Structure 1
Amino acid sequence: MRLRHVTATATATAAVAALALTGCGTTHSTADADPAAASATTTPGPITLTDATGTKVSLDGPATKVVGTEWNVVEDLVTLGVDPVGVADVKGYKAWDTAAPLKNAPKDIGTRGEPSMDTIAALDPDLIIATTDLSASAVTQLRKVAPVLEVRSADAADQIGLMTGNLDLIAAATGTAPKAAAVKKAFDAKITAGRAALAAAGRAGARYAFGDGYVESNQVSIRPFTSGSLIGAVNERLGLSNAWTVKGDKDYGLATTDVEGLTGLGDAQFAYIVNAVDGDPFAGNLAKNAVWKSLPFVKAGQVHRLPDGIWMFGGTASMEAYADAVVAALTK
């Protein structure tokens, strides 16, 4: 798996409103039930949810046998204490999402973009959770196997709101709303502590650029994570100033550039995440590149490889791990 492929890759009071705005609202089956109260209930019984596509999803009760077709929803399940029975690309998840390690041995259901219908059917799941990155045809097939709950994959307008809203929706489907509330509180505390640590180290407002890179035909391409990315949103919550000036896409907030495109960053802190499996194009392929070596942040030793295994498109666990890594890198 290469990092450039983000394949089938809303807060408590704010979440209800955000979910409604994005079509991700949740309701309990009880008539006239208040949506906020419904999302906090753990009482067993029929559940009706509205997913990101506006589809009504009906369950006999909180789902326990759940399949996740994308790593962020798998991370949410694990974070909520629900062990998924099926996971797409288990090996990849273990390599890229170490913040929420699998506690069981789920069945590998194939790739994130093309899950195996037969494998999933054999698991007889209560619920399949997918993202809007999965093709409509695949979702149609999955709905023949079990109820499918789709969450929006990304939204550059409010990545953190979407992340916590998706967590709330999955919690409503699995009867784990109290856990979700605790998880969101811990996430907010982590970001608050990280912001304070950076400020104490004189890093408040520091110009900071996060990106990843990949090699194709011996050329290094770089993917800037703009303010519209999830990581960009976390950076700003931490009190950092995004040094990228390029415009990201409307969903993931990502852009594309090359090593020459880094010259516009000027004096900044530059950080990236790669994985030992795929290699390090910055320390490796660019080590002797004249443009790379001439960059102010390279000359000043302000290039930080953050720890492997932090999934850049994950949930609260990944973003907490990312915040810890950024604080450690910029305060050492």
Structure 2
Amino acid sequence: MQRRAFLLSMAAGAAALRCARPMASSSPVSSRRAGPRVVVLDWGLAETLLALGIIPAGIAEIDDYNANVVTPRIPRGVSDVGLRLAPSLEWLAQLAPDFILINSSQESQRPMLERIAPVRAFAIYTDAGSPYPRSQEVTRELGGLCGCETAAETLIADTAQTLDKNRVRLATTGARPLYVIRFFDGRHIGVYGAHSLFQHVLDAQGLVNAWHGPTDYWGIGVAPLEALAVTPEAQLLYFEPLPGGVADKLASNRLWRALPPVASGRVGALPPFWGFGMLPSARRFSDALTQALLAGAAPMGAARS
């Protein structure tokens, strides 16, 4: 129930879709071609298309995307088609897309969506637990679908280079084992581990994840605060923003203040991130993580408000 609540909480004319300069890369695309008109109901697919320089006709929950995924931003003129799990069928029909793009966990919507346009489903987070290599494969599939193969290869290469660059930057820091968490409330957390995109970034940068407990399909382990005492030498990074009231609860929580990373001031904040993204999220997380570790966790007895 806590995970379900978390996922739910994370939760104008249309522009023509076309290939342009990749939004997340300094390398130009050599050609400019018209592509199919698409609507996207998954944020990982949406961030990837935008990073390729592709502007969808519609995206689900645009305001929440901009708050959680943050970048690439969705340009003005892209239509908000409603909820990711319950889009406006009437609005979708008016947009008249060539394709509707979903992730594999949204397959239950296929029958109703196919009344409007052909549906393409992409599996990124699967039981195999390899979202990073799957993101590379799906990026190539999107590039082929939209005629942006060069931009897709550029995004794949640039992301790998970012992870390599940051691994070198951190190589001599002697980084501690690291907890990467998200607060659900004042006593329960989600810890990113095996099967998560963030785990791949940690591995690629030579960092040790302090969390060895179980994780779900999305790479998250749900745990009480005291689980963070298992690796006392660890450093702790948490994602902002904190849920309402959590900062005050932590400030007065003796258990939280007694946790070894907290008591020793090895706690720091990371900016907002979408935990179920693709290559753009991996690259942005790599940079934010590296910056936080090079700067050192800000000393704090409790999470800041």
Normalised by the length of structure 2, the TM-score is 0.83
5+ residue gaps, structure 1, are 10-41, 45-61
Question: Which letter maps to 1:294?
Answer: A
Corresponding residue SS for 2:139: helix
Conservation of the 8 A alpha-carbon contact between 1:100 and 1:318: no
1:295 is aligned, of 246, 259, 271, to 259
1:7 and 1:236 map into 2 onto residues whose CA distance is 29
Q: CA deviation at 1:102?
A: 1.4
Alignment of 1:211 with 2:178, yes or no, is: no
Please report how far the alpha carbon of residue 125 of structure 1 lies from its aligned counterpart in structure 2 after TM superposition. Answer: 0.6
| RMSD (Å), alpha carbons | 2.3
Q: Aligned to 1:67, what secondary structure does the other structure show? A: strand
Deviation at 1:306, TM superposition (A): 0.6
Instruction: State yes or no: 1:110 paired with 2:82.
Output: yes
Tell me, what secondary structure is at the counterpart of 1:235?
Answer: helix
1:328 partner letter: Q
2:206 equivalent to 1:239: yes
Aligned-pair distance for 1:255?
1.4
* 1:144 and 2:115 aligned: yes
Partner of 2:238: 272
The equivalent of 2:299 in structure 1 is none
Q: CA deviation at 1:135?
A: 4.5
| Mapping of residues 308-327 of structure 1, within 5 Å | 308=272, 310-327=273-290
SS in 2 for 1:211: strand
Alignment partner of 2:180: what SS? Answer: strand
* Deviations, residues 33-64 of structure 1 (Å, cap 9, x unaligned): xxxxxxxxx998xxxxxxxxxxxxxxxxx743
2:219 to 247, 253, 273: 253
How far apart, in 2, do the equivalents of 1:237 and 1:255 lie?
Answer: 21
Alignment correspondent of 2:138:
166
What secondary structure does 2:164 align onto?
Answer: helix
Q: 8 Å contact 1:306–1:329 — kept in the other structure?
A: yes
Structure-2 residue corresponding to 1:4: 6
Distance change >3 Å, CA 6–CA 167, structure 1 → 2: farther
Note the C-alpha offset of 1:7.
9.8
1:141-195, CA deviations, whole angstroms, 9 ceiling, x for partnerless residues? 1111111110114035312111111111111111111101001110011000111
CA distance in 1, matches of 2:48, 2:10: 15
Q: How does 1:65-84 map to 2 (within 5 A)?
A: 65-84=37-56
Aligned pairs for 1:85-100 (under 5 A) are: 85-100=57-72
Identity fraction in percent: 26
- Amino acid in the other structure paired with 1:323: S
The corresponding residue for 2:161 is 189
Distance 1:322 1:257 in 2: 22
Q: Report how far residue 8 of structure 1 moved.
A: 11
Structure 1 residue corresponding to 2:98, chosen from 111, 118, 126: 126
Residue by residue, what CA displacement relative to the aligned partner does 1:74-125 show, whole Å, maximum 9, x if unpaired? Answer: 1011011111111110110111112211133211111111111111111001
Distance (whole Å) between structure 2 residues aligned to residue 286 and residue 85 of structure 1: 43
| Closer, same or farther: CA 161–66 of 1 in aligned 2, 3 Å | same
What secondary structure sits across from 2:282 in the alignment? Answer: helix
CA–CA distance in structure 1, aligned partners of residues 181 and 143 of structure 2: 31
**Distance verdict in 2 for CA 1:228–1:97, change over 3 Å:** same
In 1, Cα distance between equivalents of 2:10 and 2:63: 16
Number of aligned residue pairs: 272
Distance 1:226 1:280, change over 3 A: farther
Q: Is the 1:83–1:104 contact (alpha carbons within 8 Å) kept by the matching residues of 2?
A: no
Do 1:191 and 1:323's aligned partners in 2 also have CA atoms closer than 8 Å? yes
Hey, which bits of structure 1, 4+ residues long, moved more than 4 A?
6-9
DSSP 3-state at the match of 2:120: strand
TM-score w.r.t. the length of structure 1 is 0.76
CA distance in 2, matches of 1:267, 1:165: 37
Q: Name stretches of at least 5 consecutive residues in structure 2 with no aligned partner.
A: 12-30, 296-305
